[in-house]
């Protein structure tokens, strides 16, 4: 199901705006993500870094975890805002795929321009998923 242009603009604007809340004192690479659920609700996330660098959590995963915490597990789209339209990391691709392989992934640069629009499935083809744990 294609998302409405107005809704798309809404998650783009939110990703751009929430990006300002990113906690990225070490990399200085701020990321904001805005996730549209099946029911039309929107959950945001930012990257949160740590002095123990490996404890960092990405913006996309924070947005997904927020949604799941609120009982929503089916997603239509995620807008991801960075400086340069950078692509979601492998861990975030895996987490997005768990809940919505067909969700739209929109990557934005610092001006809010769409650098790439694709799906979680295209970002992580042949992914390991819930089906792989079904037995018998
Ligand atoms: N980062 C994200 O938030 N999402 C990604 O998909 C890629 C990387 C963050 C993690 C870290 O805070 C910074 O960007 C540089 O890696």
Quick check: is 60 catalytic? yes
59 lines ligand 1 (CB under 6 A): yes
Structure token pair of residue 99:
């809940």
Other beta carbons within 10 Å of 54: 5
The pLDDT tens digits of the residues spanning 24-43 come to: 999 999 999 999 999 999 99
Structure token pair of residue 81:
């805002």
The catalytically annotated residue of 6, 20, 49, 60 is: 60
* All residues at 6 or more sequence positions from 130 whose CB lies less than 8 Å from its CB, including other chains: 98
* All residues at 6 or more sequence positions from 2 whose CB lies less than 8 Å from its CB, including other chains: none
* All residues at 6 or more sequence positions from 26 whose CB lies less than 8 Å from its CB, including other chains: 49, 51, 53
- pTM, two decimals, is 0.97
Mean pLDDT, 10 residues at a time, over the chain (136 residues)? Answer: 92 98 98 98 98 98 98 98 98 96 97 98 97 88
59 alpha carbon – ligand 1 mean position (Å): 7
């Amino acid at each position: 199901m294609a998302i409405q242009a107005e809704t798309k603009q809404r998650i783009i604007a939110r990703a751009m705006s929430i990006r300002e809340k990113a906690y990225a004192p070490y990399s200085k690479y701020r990321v904001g993500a805005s996730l549209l659920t099946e029911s039309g609700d929107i959950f945001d996330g930012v990257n949160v870094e740590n002095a123990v660098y490996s404890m960092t959590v990405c913006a996309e995963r924070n947005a997904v975890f927020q949604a799941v915490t609120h009982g929503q597990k089916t997603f239509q789209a995620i807008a991801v805002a960075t400086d340069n339209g950078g692509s979601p990391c492998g861990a975030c691709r895996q987490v997005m795929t768990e809940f919505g392989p067909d969700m739209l992934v929109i990557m934005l640069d610092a001006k809010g321009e769409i650098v790439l629009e694709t799906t979680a499935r295209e970002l992580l083809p042949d992914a390991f998923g819930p089906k792989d744990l079904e037995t018998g």
